[in-house]
């Protein structure tokens, strides 16, 4: 799967293309111009939670600019029929696209999003040459693989009534390093690990409704007012008997509900998916992102936690910063109290990367490789907080004294924006810095603990 594009890059491209000034956008957003300036020059990226507001503001200025911004932001995927843009997928003279855009209406759990995303993955992997049935098991395995990273690695919530997380937790998966290091191309190893489990009960449970209810919009009139237990068998009958004239997305491999264990996609829909694949995937990405942001409103950077990252960004610039500090002062690791060697430091994410999903300097401190590996993605004990802030203050002070003004301002951009201090020079006051860290990080630690990250880690 493709990595979501950086919003700052997308914003600059669109503002330049449509001759929209930074001041115009700032006014539309109700923010100060320097904030847009930082996004525009890619000093910091607007958070995923801010992106929807940017789209709304752009939409009022120039709807085409808003369209292009989302397209670039989600990795060159065109988005249609979302709550902000109110457009439609490309029409077709062979299939009913108007019905397709209704499949996520009134959705209260993750099943439909994961199901449709998984179908797209499967037909893409089969090179859209798939007149053969797709088994329920294959789809469920793909759904669980698509849900693994947001749930198990990033610990996002799928909703209080959603059962996908429980199904994943019930599996005894042996997750290998390539999966954890984001080197599992096409989720092959992850799918294999899941498929090796006894999934019979999981398949029955997840598939109890989703395979049938996903295509219910194709038969909205025929199924209106039905009692719940009548819906599945009637949809099977309708899909199979009206496959050629009504053209639902798929039909089933049996007439009897008890014997159904696979779906058969309609050839015209396969053709439509192939011809419009980037557009359709972008639409589903956006719908999935909206669903997950609503269920994780306080979680940072949800957009980068929905799929397996393809690679981690380099920390070379952040490492250069801390090596510069170490050239001018001896520093101890806040966890082990070992004196650090600038040639062998390892940068630790104080709040785990798998929670924040960013490499901002305000959350990075030097330590040893062994300590960093030992800490992993655990949340540090409260006893380290004061040392963490003091170390950041030492770093900022030495950087201020030894770097050029331009370098200093560049390194402190994320501190100013994310810690919400008025100006960079305020970072040199330990009292102001400590208060800013308390306001910013302590609630995040509480939230991360609630999401399942292990708290109170102590180096031993």
- Asked whether the CA dihedral 122, 125, 128, 132 is positive or negative, the reply is negative
**pLDDT value at 296 more than 80:** yes
Number of H helices, E strands in the chain: 24, 5
The CA distances from residue 293 to 21, 48, 51, 182, 287, in Å, are: 29, 9, 11, 23, 10
Overall average pLDDT of the 134-141 stretch = 96
Alpha helices in 79-198 (DSSP H): 97-100, 111-125, 136-148, 164-170, 177-180, 188-195
Confidence of residue 2 (pLDDT cuts 50, 70, 90): very low
Overall average pLDDT of the 151-156 stretch = 93
The residues, any chain, with a CB within 8 Å of residue 125's CB and separated by 6 or more, are 186
pLDDT (tens digit per residue) in 302-333: 888 998 876 677 899 999 999 999 999 999 99
Express as a percent the part of the chain with pLDDT over 70. Answer: 93
Contact 225, 190 (CB under 8 A): no
Overall average pLDDT of the 226-242 stretch = 93
Confidence of residue 77 (pLDDT cuts 50, 70, 90): very low
What is the reported pLDDT for 70? Answer: 75
DSSP letter for each residue of 265-276: E-HHHHHHHHHT
**pLDDT value at 369 more than 90:** yes
Overall average pLDDT of the 58-82 stretch = 67
**pLDDT value at 83 more than 70:** no
Confidence of residue 397 (pLDDT cuts 50, 70, 90): very high
What is the reported pLDDT for 130? Answer: 67
pLDDT (tens digit per residue) in 427-454: 999 999 999 999 999 999 999 998 899 9
What whole-number distance in Å separates Cα of residue 20 and Cα of residue 57? Answer: 11
**pLDDT value at 178 more than 50:** yes
What is the reported pLDDT for 6? Answer: 64
Confidence of residue 52 (pLDDT cuts 50, 70, 90): confident
3-class DSSP assignment, residue 134: strand
Please state the separation of Cα 223 from the chain's center in Å. Answer: 35
What is the reported pLDDT for 49? Answer: 60
Q: Which two tokens stand for residue 68?
A: 């292009």
C-alpha triplet 157, 300, 41: angle, nearest 5°: 150
**pLDDT value at 98 more than 70:** yes
Overall average pLDDT of the 332-360 stretch = 93
Q: Which helix (H) or strand (E) holds 262?
A: strand 262-265
What whole-number distance in Å separates Cα of residue 177 and Cα of residue 373? Answer: 13
Q: Name which of 36-40, 187-191, 209-213, 338-342 the model is least confident about.
A: 36-40
Q: Which two tokens stand for residue 220?
A: 């909205």
What is the reported pLDDT for 88? Answer: 59
What is the reported pLDDT for 211? Answer: 95
Residue 454's DSSP bridge partners are none
Strand residues in 73-182 grouped as ranges (E) = 134-135
Give the residue extent of every domain in the chain. 7-73, 97-305, 316-451
| More confidently predicted of 339 and 307 | 339
| More confidently predicted of 361 and 1 | 361
What is the reported pLDDT for 40? Answer: 82
Q: Name which of 54-58, 63-67, 248-252 the model is least confident about.
A: 63-67
What is the reported pLDDT for 241? Answer: 95
**pLDDT value at 155 more than 80:** yes
Fold classification of 7-73 is: 434 Repressor (Amino-terminal Domain) (1.10.260)
Average pLDDT of the chain is: 88
What is the reported pLDDT for 74? Answer: 63
What is the reported pLDDT for 43? Answer: 67
Q: Name which of 38-47, 240-249, 443-452 the model is least confident about.
A: 38-47
**pLDDT value at 85 more than 70:** no
Overall average pLDDT of the 74-84 stretch = 43
3-class DSSP assignment, residue 284: helix
pTM of the full structure: 0.77
Confidence of residue 5 (pLDDT cuts 50, 70, 90): very low
């Amino acid at each position: 799967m493709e990595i979501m594009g950086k919003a700052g890059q997308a914003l600059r491209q669109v503002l330049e293309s449509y001759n929209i000034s930074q001041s115009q956008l700032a006014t539309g957003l109700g923010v100060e111009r320097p904030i847009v300036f930082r996004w525009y020059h890619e000093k910091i990226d607007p958070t995923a939670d801010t992106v929807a507001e940017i789209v709304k503001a752009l939409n009022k200025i120039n709807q085409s600019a808003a369209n292009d911004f989302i397209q670039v932001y989600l990795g060159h995927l065109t988005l249609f029929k979302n709550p902000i843009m109110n457009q439609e997928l490309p029409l077709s003279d062979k299939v009913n696209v108007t019905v397709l855009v209704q499949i996520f209406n009134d959705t209260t759990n993750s099943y439909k999003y994961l199901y449709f995303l998984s179908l797209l993955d499967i037909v893409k992997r089969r090179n859209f040459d798939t007149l053969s049935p797709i088994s329920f098991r294959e789809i469920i395995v793909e759904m669980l693989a698509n849900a693994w990273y947001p749930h198990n690695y990033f610990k996002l919530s799928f909703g209080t009534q959603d059962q996908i997380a429980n199904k994943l937790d019930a599996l005894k998966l042996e997750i290998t390093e390539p999966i954890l290091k984001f080197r599992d191309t096409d989720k092959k190893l992850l799918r294999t690990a899941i498929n090796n489990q006894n999934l019979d009960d999981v398949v029955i449970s997840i598939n109890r409704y989703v395979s049938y209810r996903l295509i219910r919009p194709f038969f909205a009139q025929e199924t209106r007012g039905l009692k719940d237990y009548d819906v599945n068998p009637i949809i099977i009958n309708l899909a199979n008997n009206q496959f050629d004239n009504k053209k639902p997305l798929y039909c089933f491999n049996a007439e009897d509900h008890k014997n159904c264990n696979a779906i058969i996609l309609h050839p015209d829909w396969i053709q439509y998916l192939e011809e419009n694949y980037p557009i359709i995937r972008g639409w589903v990405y956006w719908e999935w992102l909206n669903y997950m942001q609503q269920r994780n409103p306080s979680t940072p950077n949800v957009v980068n936690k929905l799929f397996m990252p393809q690679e981690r960004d380099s920390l070379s610039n952040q490492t250069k910063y801390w090596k510069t500090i170490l050239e001018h002062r001896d520093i101890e690791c806040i966890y082990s109290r070992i004196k650090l060697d600038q040639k062998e430091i390892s940068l630790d994410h104080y709040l785990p990367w798998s929670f924040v999903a960013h490499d901002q300097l305000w959350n990075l401190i030097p330590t040893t490789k062994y300590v960093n590996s030992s800490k992993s993605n655990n949340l540090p004990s409260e006893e380290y907080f004061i040392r963490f802030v003091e170390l950041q203050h030492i770093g900022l002070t030495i950087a201020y004294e030894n770097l050029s003004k331009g370098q200093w301002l560049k390194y402190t951009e994320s501190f100013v924006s994310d810690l919400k201090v008025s100006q960079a020079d305020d970072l040199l006051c330990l009292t102001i810095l400590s208060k800013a860290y308390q306001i910013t990080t302590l609630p995040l630690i509480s939230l991360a603990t609630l999401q399942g990250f292990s708290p109170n880690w102590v180096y031993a």
